[in-house]
Amino acid sequence: MSKDRYAQRVKTYLFLLMHLSLYSLFFIPLVSCGHQTQETVIAEDSLVWYPGRTFSYKIKFNDLQSKQHEVASRIGLSRPPKDRDDAASMRKQLVEIKTNENYIVDSLTHSVPYLIPSAARELEAIGAEWADILSRNGLPHYQFYVTSVLRTQEDIKYLQKSGNINSVTQSCHCYGTTFDLAYMRYNKVTRSRMYMHEDNLKLVLGQVLLNHQRAGKIFVKYEAKQSCFHITVRE
């Protein structure tokens, strides 16, 4: 190989090496910038809190099953429906519960979305007060989840076979007076960077239920293992 060709090849190698080094310098910041952008988005999101006072859910919401069942059997359906067909024959005594702007009726596997009129109105009132508290405090709007509504005796048997410890034969859910609200699942509706932790949303929902409980409108049982508030209307 001639000296001229050798010198030319060395120049080419040096040229490629220089550009490769420059590329690396630009590439690394771009990758880092991608991570920084991701972190920046998280950092810029505004975690907001409901300024309400915390309290013991277990102590405040401890209305016994026997007390709830007494009211449910007195003001609810005249008898527990045997199965879904039997429940359908009692529809004139019931109101269908549907997803709206304040709550979502979950995919119900062991209940049907029906309540007696007074219980349906109470659920609507809980939803309205929930939305009002969020709005008045400048918080993003969320929907809570309704996870159980009217159960038939057949539903109860299926639940007992599945090992649900809170599924009792004499269930308030069989009278259309009772519904469960999940306290660790929420759906954000407001499109903004503000967000709330589930624990803080639980506090908002708990405050609403405490207000209604104190007003004598509902009984509430805090079910820790099922992660829900078990609610029975009182009138």
15/106 same-domain check:
no
At 22, is the pLDDT very low, low, confident or very high (cuts 50, 70, 90)?
Answer: very low
- Give residue for tokens 């076979």: 161
Beta pairing partners, 146: 105, 181
Q: How far apart are CA 3 and CA 26, in angstroms?
A: 35
157/80 same-domain check:
yes
Q: How far apart are CA 235 and CA 118, in angstroms?
A: 7
pLDDT digits (tens, 9 = 90+) for 31-61: 233 333 343 343 338 999 999 999 999 999 9
Residue range of the domain that includes 55 = 48-233
30, with CB counted inside 10 A (0-12, 13-18, 19+), is: exposed
Would you say residue 2 has pLDDT above 90? Answer: no
pLDDT digits (tens, 9 = 90+) for 74-124: 999 999 999 999 999 999 999 999 999 999 999 988 899 999 999 999 999
CATH number at residue 123: 3.30.1380
Number of domains comprising the chain: 2
25/122 same-domain check:
no
Would you say residue 68 has pLDDT above 50? Answer: yes
103, 82 in Cβ contact below 8 A? no
22/94 same-domain check:
no
154/198 same-domain check:
yes
Q: How far apart are CA 173 and CA 168, in angstroms?
A: 10
pTM of the model: 0.78
28/142 same-domain check:
no
Spatial CA neighbour of 174 closest among 222, 212, 119, 121:
119
37/151 same-domain check:
no
91/206 same-domain check:
yes
45, 195 in Cβ contact below 8 A? yes
Q: How far apart are CA 118 and CA 94, in angstroms?
A: 10
- Give residue for tokens 């024959």: 89
6/77 same-domain check:
no
53/2 same-domain check:
no
> So what's the pLDDT on residue 167?
52
**Amino acid found at 197:** H
90/68 same-domain check:
yes
108/216 same-domain check:
yes
What lies within 8 Å, CB to CB, of 141 at 6+ separation is 101, 131, 134, 135, 188, 189, 190
